[in-house]
Amino acid sequence: MPGPDPAVAAIRLAVRTALRDNGLRRVIVGCSGGADSTALAAAVAFEAPKLDAEALAMVVDHGLQDGSAQIAQDAAERVRRLGLSAQVVAVEVADSKDGPEAAARAARYAALREAAGRTEADAILLGHTQDDQAESVLLGLVRGSGLRSIAAMAPAGHGLVRPLLRISRQQTRQACAAEGLVFWDDPHNDDPRFSRVRVRRALAHLEGDLGPGLIKGLARTADLARQDADHLDAETAALQDRLGGAPWPVEELTGVPIAIRTRWWRGALAAQGAVIADLSSTHVASLETLLTGWRGQGPVDVPGRLRVRRGTGQIHVEPSGQVE
């Protein structure tokens, strides 16, 4: 008897490996009804019973387009036919300065985490593919957000597991076709108002010009960047533990590699009460001058109503209203 279609086999192997290697016995499967999450749900339905694992699919209705409630219900019913329990949860997407994509993602993740907590699930499985990973890397490069941004999405961490990061979007569609699975094509996936759509189109053009290895190469870049970022974060945490709270000795800080020190500023100031979300690269550059460009200049004000100054060979942190 012939085996499953190669795409089906690859996705099942990816899911089996993720469940086994992460020791997962109860999971939430995030399912939008698209090809990626449908292929994921089908593989989980096939593999989870073999590992004595329980799975519940969650379909999130963002309410962002006409008929979304019915679309979500239809997706849940298709998942049930695969053999998984499925629930639909409606969320309210709040306005966000980061745009509708970020707001929808935040609402979706909040709903999935609530479900995971309520059901005592070990993790949430998400259907992000290698193509999604490549898009994340390109977005990070365009934004100039640093190494952690280029590292994109981790295969596992913070209660999230992404089994399909080495699986292409084409493979998920091939798997659905091979198994006769109907899926929903979200019209938002072709709407150029969304940055992801524009990045997807740019990648398609680049791959046409540079060759078919581009997406794999970007995804591999994410893996390498994540290894480096994890190491730098660990070194930064060790430095923060060693130095503790302010004041901090200038001599010791100037001996720290800048790749670690610029990360350390953020963590150290967060512990002092700074608003890290508003601490920009410009703030960090100004803080650096207190160490490497010291000419007797005045203090640096940082978000959180804090003032950072140099004096007596140390870096001090004070309320910004304090008289020096």
CATH number, domain 6-222, options 3.40.50.620, 3.30.420.40, 1.20.58.710, 1.10.540.10: 3.40.50.620
Q: For residue 37, say whether it is annotated as part of any ligand binding site.
A: yes
Question: 111 and 60 in contact (C-beta within 8 Å)?
Answer: yes
How many CB atoms neighbour CB 13 within 10 A?
15
> DSSP string spanning 1-66?
-----HHHHHHHHHHHHHHHHTT-SEEEEE--SSHHHHHHHHHHHHHGGGGT-EEEEEEEE---ST
Question: 291 and 322 in contact (C-beta within 8 Å)?
Answer: no
CATH 3.40.50.620 in the chain is located at 6-222
248-249, strands of its sheet edge to edge: 248-249, 314-319, 306-311, 300-302
CATH 3.30.465.60 in the chain is located at 244-319
Q: For residue 32, say whether it is annotated as part of any ligand binding site.
A: yes
| CA 91 from centroid of its chain's CA atoms | 20
Going residue by residue through the chain (324 aa), what tens digit of pLDDT does each one get? 678 999 999 999 999 999 999 999 999 999 999 999 999 999 999 999 999 999 999 999 888 788 889 999 999 999 999 999 999 998 888 776 767 788 888 999 999 999 999 999 999 999 999 999 999 999 999 888 789 999 999 999 999 999 999 999 999 999 999 999 999 988 777 778 788 889 999 999 998 888 889 999 999 999 999 999 999 999 999 999 999 999 999 999 999 999 999 999 999 999 999 999 899 989 999 999 999 999 999 999 999 999 999 999 999 999 986 444
pLDDT score, position 212: 86
How many CB atoms neighbour CB 121 within 10 A?
23
Q: For residue 34, say whether it is annotated as part of any ligand binding site.
A: yes
Question: 190 and 22 in contact (C-beta within 8 Å)?
Answer: no
Domain 244-319: top CATH class:
alpha beta
pLDDT score, position 321: 66
Contacts of 107 (CB under 8 A, 6+ apart): 60, 62, 91, 92, 93, 94
Closest CA to 288 of 320, 319, 256, 318: 256
- Cis before residue 100, ω within 30 degrees of 0? no
Structure tokens of 228? 């480096």
pLDDT score, position 323: 42
Q: For residue 36, say whether it is annotated as part of any ligand binding site.
A: yes
Radius of gyration of the chain (CA): 23
pLDDT score, position 186: 81
Q: For residue 33, say whether it is annotated as part of any ligand binding site.
A: yes
In this structure, is the dihedral angle defined by the CA atoms of residues 125, 128, 129 and 134, taken in order, positive or negative? negative
Enter the pTM of the model. 0.89
- Backbone phi, then psi, for 255, in 5-degree steps? -85, 0
Contacts of 141 (CB under 8 A, 6+ apart): 150
